[in-house]
Structure 1
Amino acid sequence: MRLTVLGGCGAWPGAGQACSGYLVECDGFKALIDPGYATVPRLLELTGAEEIDAVLVTHGHPDHCADLNPLLRARSLGDARPSALPVYAPRGALDAVLRLDERMLARSFVLHDLLPSRALEVGPFRLDTWALPHHVPNAGLRLSGGGKVIAYTGDTGPADTLVDLARDADLLLAEATYPEEVPEEDAPYLSTALQAGRTAATAGVARLLLTHLWPGTPPEPALAAAAKSYSGDLAVASWGTTVCL
């Protein structure tokens, strides 16, 4: 299994960057996780739009799903014209983005609901989901395939179930918008690198990749905060970062 980072900015893409977006490959199957702002141009540097086999979306904020629209446009209007794309998301999360070009793109995708505690088979992957606290419904994702596990928090506030999501994962991709402290009004809904490090250490994670840092935030404070609790392989998600498991 291989994960390639397309972008890791939270909220909006900084200059020359992209928001959340991750390409996960296993046994020739390509799953795109969270096609946030500016991720599709990065994706198309790596593979054709028609070669994506499934899209997984954690929640409906546009920094995690806005580029689903250009992806579907590229598939619908390009020369290849592939079959309808399976798209998995919490119920209602994609209503706004799918209303764009609604008639033109109606047959370009098949929408599947992500429901907590309901395992799905997505190509070679087993997909398990957890409902995690955020401003809107958010699904933590655990992908198992090829004997390896990738866990991804989406955007989340503190939750005891994060340890279950990440338990013994080969890679934990964890939202870490702030290094050590979330502003009070967002504290129930967002996380820090410090919290991500504690989760990774408690869950016995082999690798930790911090993502969704606030635009313009240098990586060093986040890495230092996570390293207070976590002593394993640690990095910040940036364009082109590849993790082979």
Structure 2
Amino acid sequence: MRITVLGGVAAWPGTVGGCAGYLVERDGYRLLVDPGYATLPRLLRHVPPDAVDAVYVSHGHPDHCADLQPLLRARALTDRDGPPLPVYAPPGSLQPLLAIDEPGLVDGAYTLHEFHPGDTFALGCFRVRTWLLPHFVPNAGARFEVDGRVLAYTGDTGPDPDLPALARDADLLIADATYVDTVPDRYAGNLSTAAEVGRYAASAGTRRIWLTHLWPGTDPQAAVDAARRAYAGPVDVAVPGLTLTLP
């Protein structure tokens, strides 16, 4: 399994990086996880639009799904006879995004598979187990498993007793670390800190952490240091171009 970061900034893209986006590859199968703002240009540095085999969306906030729309346009307008792209998302989460284009333009470019957070299903070569995690809208954290390797991904989440189960013995945990140590009151319960990620990853035996969804302007080293107070394994911030290969 090879994981490549396309973006990892919270809320809106910056000059050097987009929002959430991860390309996950195994034996020629290419899964795009959370195509947020400004991730499509990064994706196209690695693969053409028609080479993506499926898309997984954790929730409907645009910093996690907005670039699905231009990806569908690219597929529809370059090859109208190409196969539809399987898109997996919680019920209703993509309805506003898919409705913004002219009627019918991208309809044949995708097949929507809605799942309820908590479901387990096959997605290409991956077995996907999902959890409903606390956020402002329904968010599906997930474990992607193949050939004994595990990628765990929180999407956006507040503290939850299921997070150690999601992260249990994962080879890589990509985790919401919007803030360093303290979540402001207005976001409490719906977003996480790097310090919290370090604590539950340590208890879960996670092998490696990528901190993602850092609020714009956050000092990346401060986030890494906060996670390391409780977690002794490797910690990185998810920045475009960061890759990991799990043999």
Q: Give TM class, smaller chain.
A: over 0.9
Kindly report the root-mean-square deviation, in angstroms, between the aligned alpha carbons of the 2 structures.
1.0
- Judge conservation of contact 1:26–1:146 (CA < 8 Å) in 2: no
Partner of residue 224, structure 1? 225
**Mapping for residues 83-162 of structure 1, pairs under 5 Å:** 83-101=83-101, 102-162=103-163
- Specify the SS of the correspondent of 2:104: helix
Partner of residue 6, structure 1? 6
Partner of residue 60, structure 2? 60
The whole-number CA distance in structure 1 between the counterparts of 2:37 and 2:81 is: 23
- Judge conservation of contact 1:131–1:138 (CA < 8 Å) in 2: yes
The whole-number CA distance in structure 1 between the counterparts of 2:73 and 2:203 is: 42
Runs (4+) off by over 2 Å: 79-82
The whole-number CA distance in structure 2 between the counterparts of 1:66 and 1:197 is: 29
Residue type of the partner of 1:96?
A: P
- Judge conservation of contact 2:80–2:108 (CA < 8 Å) in 1: no
Partner of residue 234, structure 1? 235
Residue type of the partner of 1:72?
A: L
Partner of residue 69, structure 2? 69
How far the C-alpha of 1:199 sits from its partner, in A, is 1.2
Residue type of the partner of 1:144?
A: E
**Mapping for residues 5-84 of structure 1, pairs under 5 Å:** 5-79=5-79, 81-84=81-84
Partner of residue 169, structure 2? 168
Q: Normalising by structure 1, report the TM-score.
A: 0.98
- Specify the SS of the correspondent of 2:198: helix
The whole-number CA distance in structure 1 between the counterparts of 2:146 and 2:227 is: 27
- Judge conservation of contact 2:9–2:212 (CA < 8 Å) in 1: yes
- Judge conservation of contact 2:90–2:117 (CA < 8 Å) in 1: no
What are structure 2's unaligned runs of at least 5 residues?
none
How far the C-alpha of 1:20 sits from its partner, in A, is 0.3
String of CA shifts for 1:153-181, please: whole Å, max 9, x gaps.
Answer: 00000000011111110000001000000
The whole-number CA distance in structure 2 between the counterparts of 1:240 and 1:31 is: 16
What are structure 1's unaligned runs of at least 5 residues?
none
How far the C-alpha of 1:15 sits from its partner, in A, is 1.5
The whole-number CA distance in structure 2 between the counterparts of 1:116 and 1:60 is: 13
Residue type of the partner of 1:6?
A: L
How far the C-alpha of 1:216 sits from its partner, in A, is 2.0
How far the C-alpha of 1:116 sits from its partner, in A, is 3.0
How far the C-alpha of 1:107 sits from its partner, in A, is 1.4
- Judge conservation of contact 2:194–2:211 (CA < 8 Å) in 1: yes
- Judge conservation of contact 1:50–1:81 (CA < 8 Å) in 2: no
- Judge conservation of contact 1:155–1:190 (CA < 8 Å) in 2: yes
- Judge conservation of contact 1:75–1:81 (CA < 8 Å) in 2: no
Residue type of the partner of 2:153?
A: Y
Residue type of the partner of 1:74?
A: A
The whole-number CA distance in structure 2 between the counterparts of 1:31 and 1:71 is: 13
Over the matched positions of the two proteins, sequence identity in percent amounts to 55
* Cα distance change, pair 80–41 in 1 and its aligned pair in 2 (3 A): farther
String of CA shifts for 1:78-113, please: whole Å, max 9, x gaps.
Answer: 248520010001100001110022411111111111
- Judge conservation of contact 2:58–2:139 (CA < 8 Å) in 1: yes
- Specify the SS of the correspondent of 1:104: coil
How far the C-alpha of 1:114 sits from its partner, in A, is 2.2
- Specify the SS of the correspondent of 2:108: coil
The whole-number CA distance in structure 2 between the counterparts of 1:240 and 1:153 is: 20
String of CA shifts for 1:25-74, please: whole Å, max 9, x gaps.
Answer: 01210000000000000000110110000000000000000000000001
Q: Normalising by structure 2, report the TM-score.
A: 0.97
- Judge conservation of contact 1:31–1:52 (CA < 8 Å) in 2: yes
Residue type of the partner of 1:10?
A: A
